[in-house]
Amino acid sequence: NIIITIIISSFISNLIIKIQENKYENMYHDGETLSISGIVIGNKEEKEYYDRYEIKVINKKYKNTKLYINVSKKKQLKYGDKITIYGEFKEPAQARNYKGFNYKQYLKTLKIYGTVKIEKIEIIAENQANTLMQISNKIFLKIKENIKITYSEEMSKIILGIMLGDTTEIDENTKEEFANSNISHVLAVSGLHISYIILMATTATQKMLGKKLSKIISSLVLVAYMIITGFSISVVRASIMGILTCMAFVLYRKSNTLNNIAISTMIILINNPYSLISTSFLLTYGGTIGIIYFQKIVEKIIK
């Protein structure tokens, strides 16, 4: 039964990868002029000479394809804007040197096909994105705004990284200082953050609703947290494992950490098989499995 399961799952996974590869290759036409409609599904990323946004295409030919668009700083877009664009498609660059950074492979881990350099752009309508995603984005921006008001500029950037995993505004020197201090993991949302969320949600609701309902509430809070933080791999991994642990308590089952890891891995890879080559994926799972297997050995050494 195990051998048959492995053969079937291998066949299905290879078929999915083949379909995905064909889809990407059909989209890659470097220098092609595109005239498409889409919805903005990402907040502005400020670059030196332009602003970058993420959009989801709604045209039939490229429907649900995700692209980056480079827009002049004079043109401001908002999350949920429905737009029509006209511009040149830029195929992502591959690694030029042996084992160098492969930008094309990196974009595949984000399910993004490439970049369009905009020549013409028109906003057709506002608030056209998924309602739940728009609400979560507003919450994210509100939290970000409140943190910036409350703390100094430098401190607010670090707190954003610790709370929401948003390190886009942290300068390279600060990141290097965290790395040299061996505490870079603090800036990546992980099991520690999820544990605190479960603890706070459970403590706040347990007396009023009971243990079972408090665990269900904690699970819903984790789902909301995943949406607000943009479904980054480390957040999804830790949140799914947290939800499975809570549900095991509700259903009177014993939670198995390795089973939880396997289930979270399967969910992430079904959504995007290219996550397997993502640095975030390798580090979050490598770190978690390493802790599980070496915890007892390290405890003995310390004692």
pLDDT digits (tens, 9 = 90+) for 247-295: 998 888 888 888 999 999 999 988 888 888 888 888 889 888 988 888 8
CA pair distance 239, 241, nearest whole angstrom: 5
- Render pLDDT for 178-193 as a digit per residue (tens, 0 to 9): 778 877 777 777 777 8
pLDDT of residue 247: 92
pLDDT of residue 217: 92
Query: Is the pLDDT at 148 greater than 80, yes or no?
Result: yes
Label residue 144 by pLDDT band (50, 70, 90): confident
Query: Is the pLDDT at 244 greater than 90, yes or no?
Result: yes
pLDDT of residue 189: 74
**66-71 and 45-46 as β-strands: parallel, antiparallel, unpaired?**
unpaired
pLDDT of residue 170: 78
pLDDT of residue 160: 83
pLDDT of residue 264: 92
Query: Is the pLDDT at 165 greater than 80, yes or no?
Result: no
Least trusted range by pLDDT, from 56-70, 161-175, 195-209, 279-293:
161-175
Rounded to the nearest 5°, which phi and psi values hold at 75? -100, 115
Please name the residues in contact with 122: beta carbons below 8 A apart, sequence gap of 6 or more. Answer: 83, 84, 85
pLDDT of residue 181: 81
Label residue 103 by pLDDT band (50, 70, 90): confident
* Rounded mean pLDDT, 69-95: 87
Please name the residues in contact with 174: beta carbons below 8 A apart, sequence gap of 6 or more. Answer: 154, 157, 158
Label residue 240 by pLDDT band (50, 70, 90): very high
Q: Do the Cβ atoms of 117 and 85 come closer than 8 Å? A: no
Please name the residues in contact with 109: beta carbons below 8 A apart, sequence gap of 6 or more. Answer: 272, 274, 275, 277, 278, 280, 281
* Rounded mean pLDDT, 52-81: 87
Closest CA to 148 of 135, 159, 137: 159
- What's the chain's length in residues? 303
pLDDT of residue 32: 81
* Rounded mean pLDDT, 134-141: 88
Label residue 220 by pLDDT band (50, 70, 90): very high
